Amino acid sequence: MSATPQNPDDQELDLSQISRKVGDFFEGISNRFFKGILFFKRNIVWVGTLFVIGAGLGFYLDKNTKIYDNQIIVTPNFGSTDDMYAKIELINSKIGEGDSIFLKNVVGVKEPKKLRGIEVSPVTDVYKFVENKAQNFELIKLMAEDGDIEKVIKESITSKNYPYHLIEFSTVDLTSNEATVKPILDYLNNSDYYKMIQKEFVNNVKIKMVENDSVIGQINGFLNTFNSTISGSQKSDKLVYYNENSQLDDVIKTKDNLVNEQGSHRLELVSLDKIVKDNSVTLNVKNNKKLNGKKKIILPLLFVFVFVLVNSFRSYYRNQLAKFNA
């Protein structure tokens, strides 16, 4: 089949139509822009007044409504992670409901109306998670075989077992440790069940430390006796042969391991004085995210936009009404 030749006149006609449509498009934009200039010129007093009112109101709100972020890094002990998450979720729901009575009487927050929300999240630290814990390392390896390692690390089943967690809450105006942090931590630590677990856990650690000290003392006695024997033999004319299989090496390594274990237990006891141990607190970091601190810019623009929108609707309504009546 042969292709049908296109008439040159048709091509010129198509190009002419396209050129005219493009010109009409830009002409329409130019007309709208000019109408906008005329609109603002006619309503310069209203626009200026709304802009000033919006800016003034924005300055007032920015000055008198300041949001501050606060953070607490904690370590939940004795398997109390889920209990801590549940309590934080309950506090956040009561903040959303505006239940000041619960926040003040149950949680103990002194200025509950200042709270604007609270949440808790794990501090992702996979190295701390597997440190000296072979079973945790094997768990990560096993879970990573069936999926992305990054996804596995962030999954709740893994992340809730990280040692450190971040509690974040925001307040209107400045707060203090006594007003918010201490009451929240006291509420998280208020559990009869975990207090019993804490008592037995600490007692077991102390018993283990006493036993370790006893074993270390016995090893020291053995080493002192051995050293005296060697010293006495060196003074005599008798030869003493040291057998590498005498397990002396193992005894020294055992002592070294016990000494390191005792150091770990001492550090452990520092963080076991609370069910939810607070490690660091950061208060009153000014929040400039989203609309915070920007109302002086946003409100005047919003007021002018609403004014333009209302006038555009009125103009549209009059035009449509005129067409309908015609």
pLDDT at 3 over 90: no
- The answer to the question of residue 121 being in a domain is yes
Copy the structure tokens of residue 6: 């296109």
Which pTM was predicted? 0.66
- The answer to the question of residue 105 being in a domain is yes
Whether 22 and 151 map to the same domain: the answer is no
- pLDDT bin (cut points 50, 70, 90) of residue 280 is very high
Lowest mean pLDDT among 55-64, 171-180, 190-199: 55-64
Whether 208 and 116 map to the same domain: the answer is no
- The answer to the question of residue 3 being in a domain is no
- The answer to the question of residue 114 being in a domain is yes
- The answer to the question of residue 55 being in a domain is yes
Whether 137 and 27 map to the same domain: the answer is no
- The answer to the question of residue 12 being in a domain is no
Whether 109 and 231 map to the same domain: the answer is no
Helix (H) or strand (E) holding 286: strand 276-286
- The answer to the question of residue 2 being in a domain is no
**Domain limits for position 309:** 17-62+294-325
Evaluate the CA torsion angle 322, 324, 307, 27 in order and state its sign: negative
Q: Report how many domains make up the chain.
A: 3
Whether 88 and 175 map to the same domain: the answer is yes
- pLDDT bin (cut points 50, 70, 90) of residue 255 is confident
Copy the structure tokens of residue 86: 């549940």
pLDDT in tens, 90-148: 999 999 999 999 999 999 999 999 998 999 998 876 656 555 555 555 555 555 556 55
- pLDDT bin (cut points 50, 70, 90) of residue 325 is confident
pLDDT at 239 over 70: no
- The answer to the question of residue 219 being in a domain is yes
Average pLDDT taken over every residue of the chain? 78
Integer Cα distance of 147 and 160 in angstroms:
19
Evaluate the CA torsion angle 149, 152, 153, 154 in order and state its sign: positive
Helix (H) or strand (E) holding 133: none
